[in-house]
Structure 1
Amino acid sequence: MPNLVVISTTAVPDYVRGSLTRWLTEPAPGLYVGSISARVRDELWTQVAAAVGDGAAVCVHPTDNEQRYTITTAGQRRRSVLDFEGLELIGFHQHPAPQDHGNEQLPF
């Protein structure tokens, strides 16, 4: 049975975008939406995650849990999915510490 799938990409290679548009509609740059089977979704996500390179991707699809959806990510992102007693929440990584620039004072 087909289910709604949403995939968002950032800075992925062009061939990844081409692969996604074969199965999903791209209503905005880097945002893909469609109704596909779980088998197709899983295979497509495996290919996207393997090819993401320096970019990032997020997949949201229905599942049988309290929120009725799950979030999967690939690539380096400032945000990460955290499990909090069965709920998927988004956590932010802090920016790396500023590098030592001698006696120069930075505004942060």
Structure 2
Amino acid sequence: MIVLVVTACPAGLRGDLTKWLAEISPGVFVGRPTARIRDLLWERTVELSKDGRALLVYSSNNEQGMEFRTHRHDWKPTDFDGLALMVRPDKRQSTRRTGWSSARRMRSSRR
């Protein structure tokens, strides 16, 4: 079983995916293709998505019973001791400033 979610992708890609999968909600496709067809659909999705994003979740023979693939997503699948978890990068960390806040500096200057 696979679940394929596409966001901000051309309508032609969605139409192409409906040949093999059922669209249960706008941009959400489910189906049960073979592994070969799944891989070909993923290659086609990556090729046609242009500036859009795609996320694929499919059944696998591991402890979780599933695996992930992403294309142009902020969230990345990461292996934590054998478990595949989706990790979102912390954007606040890159913009974090060091030192005192401006409110703290104002309070200090009043004294």
TM-score normalised over the length of structure 2: 0.78
Partners in 1 of 2:95 and 2:23 — Cα distance? 37
Tell me the distance in 2 between the aligned counterparts of 1:56 and 1:94: 19
Return the alpha-carbon distance in structure 2 between the equivalents of residues 78 and 60 of structure 1: 16
| Partner of residue 38, structure 2 | 41
Q: Which runs of 4+ in 1 moved over 2 A?
A: 94-98
Q: In the alignment, does 2:37 pair up with 1:56? A: no
Identity over aligned residues, as a percent?
Answer: 36
Match of 1:21 in 2: 18
Structure ranking higher in strand proportion: 1
* TM-score (normalised: structure 1): 0.80
- Structure 2: gaps of 5 or more residues: 97-111
How do 1:1-108 and structure 2 match up within 5 A?
4-75=1-72, 77-95=73-91, 97=95
Unmatched runs of 5 consecutive residues or more in structure 1: 99-108
Structure 1 position 88, deviation (Å): 0.5
Inter-partner Cα distance in structure 2 for 1:50 and 1:84: 29
Within 2, Cα distance between the matches of 1:34 and 1:66? 21
Structure number with higher helix proportion? 2
